[in-house]
Structure 1
Amino acid sequence: MKIAVVTGASSGIGRSAAIQTARRGTGVILTYSSNRRGGLETAAAIEKEGGTAVALPLDVGESGTFPAFRESVADVLRDTWQRGTFDYLVNNAGFAHTSLLADTTEDTFDRLMRVLLKGPYFLTQRLLPLMENGGAVVNTSSNSAAASGLEPGYSAYASMKGGLNVLTRYMAKEFSERGIRVNAVSPGSTRTRIGDDAFDRFPEVIPALAARTALGRVGEPDDIGAMIATLLSEESGWVTAQNIEVSGGYNL
């Protein structure tokens, strides 16, 4: 059995990625930060469908916790699957914050950097010795880092995601010696809890976003989760160093 580590899987895209990866027969170690209940619900949903999942706490903005997290992953691999390695890593955990460049504080910038760029960089570094050769990594980016998704207010967030896109290519280059593929997905507007449940709090923005999307609606977590699961799978065995926009044709 293949094993995946999926960060930020207590809701939204991470939850969908974990569930859809599990449906392909893969065991899942999923992480949650503040939403423990959500993480346990994701694990329960996987087990209800006959899969195997373990939920672990992780704040990807606190790199000092990564050595202990690696030990927790090693323990779970041994105790649950009798393995010393895992196969797939999904760097999905994150948060969104919007503010115009003129209004962005250094604290906000630094927190975005720690969670969205430094976190995936050093978490991947820490977990790499536990990864099986021939595995795969998927990084969750954003179309805000692309010309098609350029919107005022995302300068700091999108800069970190742009850095993640570059990091994806470097990971793909360096990890190719071990047969590990690395790709990114860039969602457009997706109905998740991101931005403190912004879609629930401001439903009036949805029609305008749908009108700017070629396929006529905003994205759902399963739209993105399905692409992540596909990129992890052997179906995508000849795909690496790519950043795939999954936005339904936003601003097309």
Structure 2
Amino acid sequence: MSKQNTDQRIVVITGASSGIGRGAAIEIAARDMGVVVTYNARPEGADRTVEEIREAGGRAAALPLDFSRTETFPDFARALRDVLATEWGAGRLHALVNNAGFGGGRGFEEMTVDAFDDYYRVLLRGPYFLTQALLPLIEDGGAIVNTSSSSVRPGDTEPGFSGYAAMKGGLVIATRFLAKELSSRSIRVNAVSPGPTRTRLGDNAFERFPELIDGLAAKTAFGRIGEPADVGKVIAFLVSDDSAWITGEDIQASGGYSL
């Protein structure tokens, strides 16, 4: 990968300090695209993502972003313009990956209005309005990828995920409608729905409760839970020209979970 390529396509990936966001950033950079990764609470994680990409010969930068605060999105767009200009000498994005979020695990009887609103602000309102804020920067023929969840599919109905899955389901529906609305600019809009994946969601649940892994792996056709790179490769495909004839779809990347 050339560090002097000023015509390099650039992709913004939210929530890329760990997990699927980091996996997607690394896979996208490996396909000779520049990446801007965002972080909220873990700047050191974003720095590690950027460092890993640069060590492999890629180009990357990091910016702070709180997905729950839509009022900050205009300032983020301005900061992004500055990074595009200074790091790449560019004024446009090729793609946006709306990945930032947090996990489910709150039962219906324990759900509060504030907790429900937290899901809404981060999992549905955030990606919807960040896409709107960055749309003027996205080039015609570009791509938008929204990270949803296998929990929106029949067969993956677990207690404690009604609020989480409702927002992820809303994001899948929004994906389909935005694909139609943005087709006049040939911008593709797709969702990817991971199954159980080794990430920090649920307050790093897999590390704190490793006994959960075997049960989830047993429900997966391939007998294991997903790794961030498994989903990252699918996201990299969806922002690449290899998926130029795909839009309005929700791609399940779960290794056959709950088949």
- Report TM bin, short chain: over 0.9
> Which residue of 29, 37, 51 maps to 1:44?
51
Structure 1 range deviating more: 78-87 or 160-169? 78-87
Distance in 1 (alpha carbons) for counterparts of 2:153 and 2:115: 21
Distance in 1 (alpha carbons) for counterparts of 2:155 and 2:76: 37
The superposition leaves residues 62-86 of structure 1 with CA deviations (integer Å, 9 ceiling, x where unpaired) of 1111010000010011111111111
The residue that corresponds to 1:103 in the other structure is 110
Match of 1:149, SS?
A: coil
In structure 2, give the amino acid aligned to 1:151.
E
The superposition leaves residues 6-61 of structure 1 with CA deviations (integer Å, 9 ceiling, x where unpaired) of 00000000001011000100001110000000001101111001111010000101
Distance in 1 (alpha carbons) for counterparts of 2:223 and 2:81: 44
Overall identity of the aligned pairs, in %: 56
Mapping of residues 158-173 of structure 1, within 5 Å: 158-173=165-180
> Which residue of 109, 124, 134 maps to 2:141?
134
Cα RMSD, aligned residues only: 0.6
In structure 2, give the amino acid aligned to 1:40.
D
The superposition leaves residues 133-181 of structure 1 with CA deviations (integer Å, 9 ceiling, x where unpaired) of 0000110000111112111100000000000000100110111100100
Distance in 1 (alpha carbons) for counterparts of 2:52 and 2:29: 10
In structure 2, give the amino acid aligned to 1:58.
L
The Cα shift of 1:187 comes to: 0.4
| Correspondence 1:64 to 2:71 | yes
| Correspondence 1:11 to 2:44 | no
In structure 2, give the amino acid aligned to 1:170.
F
Q: TM-score, normalised by structure 1?
A: 0.99
Q: TM-score, normalised by structure 2?
A: 0.96
> Which residue of 92, 114, 121 maps to 1:114?
121
The residue that corresponds to 2:209 in the other structure is 202
> Which residue of 221, 237, 240 maps to 1:233?
240
The residue that corresponds to 1:143 in the other structure is 150
Distance in 2 (alpha carbons) for counterparts of 1:79 and 1:47: 16
Listed as ranges, the gaps of 5+ residues in structure 1 are none
Distance in 2 (alpha carbons) for counterparts of 1:74 and 1:8: 19
- Give aligned pairs, total: 252
Distance in 1 (alpha carbons) for counterparts of 2:243 and 2:222: 24
Moved over 3 A (4+): none
Distance in 2 (alpha carbons) for counterparts of 1:62 and 1:148: 33
Distance in 1 (alpha carbons) for counterparts of 2:156 and 2:15: 23
Listed as ranges, the gaps of 5+ residues in structure 2 are 1-7
The residue that corresponds to 2:193 in the other structure is 186
The residue that corresponds to 2:4 in the other structure is none
> Which residue of 170, 182, 198 maps to 1:175?
182
